Structure 1
Amino acid sequence: MRKVPAFLLRHRVVVEPYLGDTAYGLQYGPGVEVRALVDPARRLVRAADGRQATATATVITAPGLECPPGSRLTLPDGRTSTALTVAEHTAPGLPVPACTEVSCG
């Protein structure tokens, strides 16, 4: 399986994986900086709980990113955003690259 080419991932994004909600509030794992391609366009997505939400950015990374919905992302422009949806795109046997797509709200 081919991965998305590294030369296309021109941005740096910090991902803090969502661990859960505790008595002390939302808990996140340690931040990890990843290479990504960020599209700042707004679009309508369906969140994990089924409601419609407006994504303020879409982040494309190499496959295998540890980023469950609810994770905190720091985008290249300094904005902090929350992962609304996360999709692993693969196409075994086809000449298209595999990637992880995160819609941020």
Structure 2
Amino acid sequence: MVTRVPPSLLRHRIGVEPYLGDGAYGPTYGPPAEHSALVGEAVRMVRAPDGREVTSTAQIIAAPDLDCPPGSRVTLPRGRITTAISTAVHTAPGLPVPASKEVICE
């Protein structure tokens, strides 16, 4: 049974600086880390966690343990820096499908 996305399917490398919250001088981020992912760059309308409709220009599939909360800075494979809008963990316990984390970016 497959329990997580096979690394052979995660063909891109992304950089993630996890959002930690707002400080006295604006947003604060954790240390940057590089991760394997599958990146699709397509323009889509999505809902942000606060209910606003926003435009997403990149969608990422990664391992389920990726630390990338909404607000995180993400560096895409081509070098463009974007912000995570929302994340979702996909699981299907008992079924032969892989667990993954989806990150929707601005």
* TM-score by shorter chain over 0.5: yes
Identity %: 63
- In the alignment, residue 16 of structure 1 is paired with which amino acid? E
- In the alignment, residue 9 of structure 2 is paired with which amino acid? L
Look up the match of 2:8.
7
- In the alignment, residue 58 of structure 1 is paired with which amino acid? Q
1-structure distance, mates of 2:49, 2:4: 25
Look up the match of 1:76.
77
- Structure 2, unmatched stretches of 5+, are none
Look up the match of 1:63.
64
Look up the match of 2:89.
88
- In the alignment, residue 27 of structure 1 is paired with which amino acid? T
1-structure distance, mates of 2:54, 2:88: 16
Query: Do structure 1's residue 37 and structure 2's residue 44 form an aligned pair?
Result: no
Query: Do structure 1's residue 16 and structure 2's residue 17 form an aligned pair?
Result: yes
- Structure 1, unmatched stretches of 5+, are none
Query: Structure 2 length normalisation: TM-score?
Result: 0.96
Runs of 4+, deviation exceeding 6 Å: none
Cα deviation per residue 1:15-37 (whole Å; 9 max; x = unaligned)? 00001111111110000100000
Query: Structure 1 length normalisation: TM-score?
Result: 0.97
CA RMSD of aligned residues (A): 0.9
SS in 2 for 1:66: coil
Q: Give the superposition deviation at 1:63.
A: 0.7
SS in 1 for 2:5: coil
SS in 2 for 1:95: coil
- In the alignment, residue 3 of structure 1 is paired with which amino acid? R
Q: Give the superposition deviation at 1:103.
A: 0.3
- In the alignment, residue 10 of structure 2 is paired with which amino acid? L
